[in-house]
Structure 1
Amino acid sequence: MKSVTQPLYLGTAMALLAWSSGASAQTTRDADADGVAEQPGEADNAAALDTIVVTAQRREQDATRVPISIEVIGGEDIADTAISTLEEVTLSVPNFQITQTGLTTQTYIRGIGSGNDPAFEQSVAQFVDGVSYGRAQLTRAPFFDLQRVEVLRGPQSILFGKNSTAGALSIITAQPTDYLEAGATATYTDVFEGFEGQAFVSGPLADGLSARLAVRGLTENGYVFNTTKDRTEPRLDEIAARATVRYESGNFTATLKGEYSKFDVEGRNLVVSQDVATTEAAPGVPLTFATALTGAGLPGALQDTSFNYRRQADQDEFDNTEFYNGTFTTETDFGSATLTTVTGYLGYDRDTSVDLDFTSASILGGLTRESYEQFSQEIRVATDDSLPLSVIAGAYFEHNNLEYSDVTALGPNLANLGFGVIADIGAVRDFEQTSDTYSLFAQLQWRVADGFRIIPGLRLAIDEKTASRSLVARNGAFSFDGPLVTNPVPITVLQTALGFSLDNAVAGAGHDLNRSRSEKNIVPSLAVEFDVTEDILLFGSYREGYKGFGFGARSNNNTSFGFDDEEVSSYELGLRASLPGNRASFGVTLYRSTYSDLQISQFDGTVGFNVGNAGETRTQGIEANARYAIAPGIAINASAAYLDFEYLDFRRGNCAFGETPDGDVVGGVQLCDYTGRRGRFTPEFNVYGGLSVDKPLFGDLRLKINADASYTGEHNVHDNLDPAGVVDGYTIVDARVGVGGENWTIAAVGKNLLDERFRTYAAQVPFASNVGANTQYATASRPRSVAIQFQVRY
């Protein structure tokens, strides 16, 4: 394991570049978070930090006055450092992790997130311009031309609604300007053969009317080598466009935004990371999955069985998504109060194919079709927070519909493994869910005395859901509509050996489920704030939250369908402080959260996933961040987190390979007791440090440097908490060095400069356990890259 002090090495070296002479605009990674970028020469000679304006409490506030554990990344920094996904944001935000699995994207804050089931809403709620993006696939929505990203840790249920039990991401896109401006960025990354281009134009159209148009394109050839196809993967091809129009007249503002994006992927960054035998094929010959395949007449089907960024996959793998969104926002200022309405419509269509045996043999594959539509309406009123009693109150409605179909493709080479009776059959699942949410919310602020405020909040919500799921076996492994299987022999094998509850005519178990459910929730919160001085804020809070119940889309058995609400009770105590003159700022938050009925989706040990609820889980720890202006044009920032995570009552965990079951019996299968363990993605320590330099060189030339380093401690990434899934601590170092004039910059952008290679997710390879091998696949992190970037702006 690397030392936790290693991230400081680069910062120490870069600090030697700092010099204190010369006036310049102060820049940090959050410098433009309020959407107003300083021009060179505007800053005073005295070193000072920019004010970071956020809307974490649905009104504009200085980030140093927000009683929430918050991290902010400015849009300029996102563009400069070529951040193109939310996953890359995790570098600078401790206790925040995003990872790709074989099926979806998972987001975690403080170790709490949602599993693989596509019907799950997310424990980390995502909002873009005030509109909820509640599905995992929406974390891949367009990520460009942004004003800022706010990461809010801990429950945010009053103002952000349900499904924010772990926290919330608030993404604010760049807005139209009342002056003409335009810009373009081109980034070329040689090691991935990747090219990304972004451009925008913004300005007035008429009196009171302005508009902004932004576009983005990306192509990339990947970094994992598929020896079967003789190419690197995953290969990305993405396009996106966003148009925003704003109208302002007196006290009324209306903003209409529309966007479309298409992101296509060929291949995956999934590799077999280990193949450990527990038996012998012959004396002295370990029986691994690779040797078993060779003995079954499939020589060379699995060659790379260590974490070496090489894979063998023969299936035509793709992941194609089209996304669309329209948002209409109005604000009416009545002087002492502001009325805001946010109307949102969004959706996506997704088709995927993935090789699930991770070999060049046709053993197991998966096809999915997913379509999602959502309409939401929020109306809220916020009174002037300087009043003795102020309020933020409103109403929210959301309707969404999810249609999901998949095929578990049992390939023809299953015959080589002794399962010929079920070879070339597809288990076809169809799922549909319709959901409606109605809620009322209010948060009061009572100024009890000078510098002392009490802030109670309440949200009342009603959730209604109707879902159906069917599962049938069809002839033809890779087909959604092949003829139904009528032979009782393969149906019996599918049901008894693999746990499929089928709805075929001769099946015994049956699988044609239809259910409706409605629940009411009342969620309270209470916060207390005390201004020790004008520059020091103390706060304490108690918050409750919930993530709505639902129905599982991916289970193979008909006993795993519904799951209950996930609930949380959380206490926080914190301090926010800044030095006079805004030379430095500091924040620290202590927290303790207890979750009941944590929603889980876990691999069933064969080819399916079951949904359910864990009993009780506790997360607690401390988070801190600081910024300091060393001199004009030079600033450092740092953040750190300590996380203590424990399952207090969780007797329904899926057993790791070779683990003796000691938990509850569910569906006739005894599971394992996770009580007392840490969960996935729960490193004990996270540390981040960053340095920014913006100084004049000579003439109109300026030097701009950004250096970031983060340390993530040891943690388990395995779906079933297999000890082999523990990842050692690692340090990621990124840096950007640029030189430019008033309207242009050319820069080198380095990412993962120490070339750390680690698993971000791990799980069992299906069917390998049948031969007694502990064979795992893993998602491979991106290796080192250096890019050339050219920017122009007018």
Structure 2
Amino acid sequence: MPTTAQVRLFSLQRRPLAAGLTLALAAGAQGQEQGLTLEEVIVTAQLRAESLQDVPISVSAVSGDKLIEANITNLEALTTYVPNFSMNQSGISNNITIRGVSSGINPGFEQSTGMYVDNIYYGRGQLARSPLFDLERIEVLRGPQPILFGKNSIAGAVSMVSAKPTREFEGSFTALYEVEEERQDYRLVLSGPLTDTLSGRLSLMYRDVEGPYTNTFTGDDEKQEEEMVYRGSLLWEPTEQLSVWAKYERSDFDDNGRNVELHQSIVREDLVGTGQGTDYITALDNFVGLANGVLGLQPPVDYSGDDGELNRVRGGNSDFHDNQSDVFVLKIDYDLGGLTLTSTTGYLEYEFQQDCDCDFTSATVFNALQDEAFEQFSQEIRVTSPGGETIDYIAGLYYQTNELDFEDSINVMDNSLLRILNPNFSDIRTRRFADQESDMWAAFAQVTWNISDTFRLVLGGRYSEEDKKATKTQVHFGPDDQPTPATDPTGQTPNVLWGLNPLFGAFSIEPYDTISGNRKEEEFNPLVTLQWDATDDMMLYATYVEGFKAGGFDIRSNGHPDPNVVNAQNLGRGLDIRGVFEFEDESAESFEVGAKMRIGDTAELNVAAFYTEYTNLQTSQFDGVLGFNVQNAGEAEISGVELDGRWLVTGGLTLSAAVAYLDFEYTDFKNNQCYFGQQVLDPGSVQPDGVTCDATGQRKEYTPEWTGSLIADYVMPLGDSLELRTTLDLNYSDPYTYNPTLDPRSEQDAFTRVNLRVALGAASGQWELAFVGQNLTDEDVVIYGGEAPLAGTLTGGTGIAYYKFLDRPATYALQGTYRF
């Protein structure tokens, strides 16, 4: 199974290709002498079952067995094994990144990386949280994939394939218990024939985690997770020409608490030693002491204090995240005398509710509630030629419609610390209502002209049209829970408190009546690929492709897009609360060359080099208080090299390795959000508006220069009936920035994580007992971070603290499997 590997571990950073070829050539020669054969990997990256070595795309494939063995339960855990790929959860968002390109924090976004489960598009970031369970494999396709996958897959695509019903009865039960987080994981799969032509499969999973964090305020372990997945599928094959597969899946996945804490509570560098600045945690302590002591506010402010250390100890309250999703898929394949007609029908819906204590402290300041409901229906019909002819092709039509209903609120409770600024900061709230509808259709085709036995020309194209409309409203409510008119905001107390008063405007949130918009976009994306079988064991390819990501509507912005609608000037902060509603489409031009090589019967080596230009990158920028505004970021150039290989060293030992090098540069990005203090520390970058800063020439967040891993799988017979199976993973990442402001204070250090699995089991595979250790080096890896909300307000702009989401620490689990 090809996975990733950090070739630095073999001193290949300076000469990866030459060293890799030397290793692979030696492997092939040795393997031929021993009579070994490396198992072939089959993928459907081009909607046909093909060998991975024949596909002219940079692809990483992770098998269902590897997902179970490595305890990979979500996309976030998968990132360890795939180069130039990451998935990050923040307090209010989920982002998938391929080759440094991702969407930002905004419910109006769809992902830049298209996620597909059984060919059904999962474009909403919330669906990236879905548990992974009972899959045949996951394929990660890097680079724009606009033709066969289509919808918005401008950075790449993640294709997940569910395990199908079998014609022979089989079943398995797997249980895992992890010590440090008290994690329990139970999985049951039953599959087999129901009649001569009908087979079924039933898959059940339950998972419960207490979490590695200690909450000093609630006394709980966090973040607590509970997941349940129920999946049933039927496969009906009445004739050799007809196959009908239907799947229904229900997922419930809930969290309590968060894996976040405050760190780096600092005074702005130019004020250090002057006595003029206050760091955020000190300011919090002082404000709570003043509120409860000198002023004696009633009810008092509850507060347990924060230590400011990165140690998985936090204060916080009222955090939860509840999700429910339902998915139905119907796939029909019919053989038309060599041609295959395929119909794929999909329906999915989800609802989620969350309460974010988004000041990330135990002090009662404010909380943010969010409620989102989504429905999607899609239909694809395509025809596929049999293959192996002079002209091979895939062509089809696609239709999709969806509806999004969104509501969130920011609530200041009756015991909020903000009463120290104004006693009316008590029992008030602001609510945002938004909905969005989309209808789109597309026609696509990909044709392969087999010019000779060794040379092929692939031409592809996709034409799509999308109609999208949305509305949004922002309303402030007073203690009587009655809405306050948006007109004449300076005369209404709630409006003053939420951001329009020069003395007490702490939130910079502007009320407005309903605004609406409509967009219609038409786009054609081409693809040209040349393939050459240079030898029987080496395929070379070169690809040019254009990608596209549709524009849309900003749901998270806290201001009206027209500053003349209401008098929104916040004089005390020097900010104009001008919001955003509509943002433009994003486009890409990408060039990729690569080689897929078989070296003897026991080794493979794949290399891909790419260069991509992005225009109008869609980014989401924190407004420095509580809002996020979508901006089109101008232009970026991305280039790099990806290399992976496998070597069957002996009959029991397989080495898998890969490395990724990434160079990312904003070539035109003058409107990035300034990081804390940048206006003072780097005034030359500040734009005329005083709010944005020029990031031209900078790297984007989540773009480490080198990443990868090395995996060793070893199977040792113990007599005739037992086997000892050992897997050792080494996963490396260079330093990277994780803050969208590109704050140089927000850098993750380089790290190497070590995972180990040692299993004893029957040689037949009937049973197995394993030890699973993950992140045994106990690396602290920040997966998301930013400036603590309202820190600038409470410190008068002189200090800050950063919130940081940490990945899991070292964990140790026992896993047992019984197959029948």
Normalization by structure 1: what TM-score? 0.91
Residue 266 (structure 2) pairs with residue 240 (structure 1): no
Q: 2:99 aligns with which of 104, 107, 110?
A: 110
**Partner residue of 1:297?**
288
1:338 matched residue in structure 2: 340
**What pairs up with 1:538-687 in 2 under 5 angstroms?**
538-559=540-561, 560-581=580-601, 583-660=602-679, 670-687=691-708
Does 1:484 find its partner at 2:483?
yes
**Per the alignment, do residues 397 and 498 of structure 1 end up closer, same or farther by CA in structure 2, a change over 3 Å counting?**
farther
Deviation for aligned residue 1:286? 5.9
In structure 2, distance between residues paired with 1:417 and 1:626: 61
Q: Within 2, Cα distance between the matches of 1:237 and 1:499?
A: 34
Secondary structure of the 1:256 match is: strand
1:383/1:390 contact within 8 Å kept: yes
Give the CA deviation at 1:464.
0.5
Which residue in 2 is equivalent to 1:718? 739
Query: Structure 1 103/431 Cα, relative in aligned 2: closer, same or farther at 3 Å?
Result: same
Question: For residues 434-479 of structure 1, what are the alpha-carbon distances to aligned partners after superposition, in whole Å with 9 as ceiling and x for unaligned?
Answer: 0011100011101112211110111000010010000011135xxx
Equivalent in the alignment of 2:787:
764
Equivalent residue for 2:773?
750
Aligned counterpart, 1:195? 184
> Following the alignment from structure 1 to structure 2, what is the Cα–Cα distance between the partners of residues 260 and 597?
37
- Are the counterparts in 1 of residues 7 and 659 from structure 2 also a CA contact under 8 Å? no
2:207 equivalent to 1:218: yes
| Partner SS, residue 710 of structure 1 | strand
How far off its partner does 1:408 sit?
1.6
Per mean C-alpha deviation after superposition, the further-off stretch among 76-85 and 186-195 is: 76-85
Structure 1 pair 707/166, CA: closer, same or farther in 2 (3 Å)? same
Equivalent in 434, 439, 445 of residue 436 of structure 1: 439
Q: How far did 1:268 drift?
A: 0.4
Question: 1:656-714, CA deviations, whole angstroms, 9 ceiling, x for partnerless residues?
Answer: 00002666869x65311110000000000012110111231113111111111110101
Whether contact under 8 Å (1:652, 1:664) holds in the other structure is no
Q: Does 1:457 align with 2:478?
A: no
User: Structure 1 residues 355 and 124 mapped into 2: Cα distance closer, same or farther (>3 Å)?
Assistant: same
Question: In structure 2, how many angstroms separate the alpha carbons of the residues matched to 1:644 and 1:149?
Answer: 26
**C-alpha distance in 1 between matches for 2:403 and 2:324:** 16
Bigger mean CA deviation after superposition, 758-767 or 297-306: 297-306
What is the letter of the counterpart of residue 514 of structure 1? S
Q: Does 1:287 align with 2:287?
A: no
**Contact 2:787/2:801, CA 8 A, preserved across alignment:** yes
Distance 1:60 1:282, change over 3 A: closer
Helix, strand or coil: the match of 1:159? coil
In the alignment, the residues of structure 2 paired with residue 445 and residue 5 of structure 1 have an alpha-carbon distance, to the nearest angstrom, of 34
Q: Is the 8 A contact 2:216 2:304 kept in 1?
A: no
2:154 counterpart residue number: 165
User: Is structure 2 residue 382 aligned with structure 1 residue 380?
Assistant: yes
Match of residue 255 from structure 2: 265
The separation in 2 between residues aligned to 1:205 and 1:183, in whole angstroms, is: 18
Aligned mates of 1:332, 1:665 — CA distance in 2:
60
1:522-551 Cα offsets, whole Å, 9 max, x none, are 111100000011211000000111111110
| 1:773 aligned residue | 799
Structure 2 letter corresponding to 1:703? L
CA offset digits 1:296-345 (Å, max 9, x no partner): 2348553221211111113x111000011000001112243111111000
Q: Which residue does 1:26 correspond to in 2?
A: none
State the distance in 2 between where 1:788 and 1:107 align.
30
* Native 8 Å contact 1:653 1:663 kept in 2: no
2:363 and 2:581 mapped to 1: Cα distance? 32
1:691 maps onto 2:730 in alignment = no
Is 1:310 the counterpart of 2:307? The answer is: no
Distance 2:401 2:686 in 1: 36
Q: Aligned to 1:782, what secondary structure does the other structure show?
A: coil
Offset of residue 5 of structure 1? 7.3
Residue of structure 2 in register with 1:525 after alignment? 527
The letter of the residue matching 2:143 is G
1:782 to 782, 788, 808: 808
CA distance in 1, matches of 2:551, 2:686: 22
The answer (yes or no) to whether the contact 2:138–2:161 under 8 Å persists in 1 is: yes
Indicate conservation of the 8 Å contact 1:234/1:266, yes or no: yes
Q: Can you list the C-alpha shifts for 1:702-730, whole angstroms capped at 9, x where unaligned?
A: 11111111101010001211111111111
Query: Residues of 2 paired with 1:285 and 1:309: CA distance?
Result: 31
Q: Which moved more, 1:242-251 or 1:284-293?
A: 284-293
Check 1:511–1:640 CA distance in 2 against 1; reply closer, same or farther (3 A cut): farther
CA contact (8 A) 2:478 2:494 kept: no
SS at match of 1:449: coil
- 1:400: how far off? 0.6
The answer to whether the 8 A contact 2:287-2:417 is kept is: no
Following TM superposition, by how much is the alpha carbon of 1:499 offset from its aligned partner in structure 2, in angstroms? 6.6
Instruction: Provide the TM-score with structure 2 as the length reference.
Output: 0.88
Taking the aligned partners of 1:280 and 1:716, their CA distance within structure 2 comes to 24
Deviation digits for residues 161-181 of structure 1 (CA, Å, limit 9, x no counterpart): 121110000000101000000
- Please show how residues 395-434 of structure 1 align to structure 2 within 5 Å: 395-411=397-413, 412-434=415-437
The one-character-per-residue Cα deviations of 1:615-642 (angstroms, maximum 9, x if unpaired) are 0011101001000000112101001000
For the pair 1:446 / 2:456, whether they are aligned, the reply is no
Letter in 1 for 2:582: G
Which amino acid letter does the alignment assign opposite residue 775 of structure 1? A
Does 295-304 or 127-136 show the bigger shift? Answer: 295-304
- The 1-side partners of 2:336 and 2:6 are apart by 52
SS of equivalent residue, structure 1 residue 293: helix
Matching residue's letter, 2:476: A
Indicate how the Cα distance of structure 1 residues 449 and 608 shifts in structure 2: closer, same or farther if over 3 A, else same: same
Residues 159, 4 of structure 1: CA spacing in aligned structure 2 closer, same or farther, 3 A cutoff? closer
Give deviations 1:472-504, integer Å, cap 9, x for gaps: 11135xxxx93223661331342433575644x
1:186 maps to 2:205: no
Q: Name the SS for the 2:53 alignment partner.
A: helix
Q: Give me the CA root mean square deviation.
A: 2.1
Query: One-letter code of the match for 1:296?
Result: F
- 1:34 maps to none
Unaligned stretches of 5+ residues in structure 1 = 10-43, 504-509
Question: Is the Cα–Cα contact under 8 Å of residues 275 and 306 in structure 1 kept in the other structure?
Answer: no
User: Does the Cα contact within 8 Å between 1:6 and 1:731 map onto a contact in 2?
Assistant: no
Q: What pairs up with 1:43-122 in 2 under 5 angstroms?
A: 46-122=35-111
The whole-number CA distance in structure 2 between the counterparts of 1:767 and 1:61 is 53
Distance 2:553 2:271 in 1: 42
Q: Give me the whole-angstrom Cα distance separating, in 1, the residues matched to 2:229 and 2:808.
A: 23
Task: Give the deviation of 1:357 after TM superposition.
Answer: 1.2
Provide the C-alpha distance between the structure 1 equivalents of 2:622 and 2:533, rounded to a whole number of angstroms. Answer: 50
Which deviates the most, 688-697 or 258-267? Answer: 688-697
Q: CA deviation at 1:8?
A: 6.2
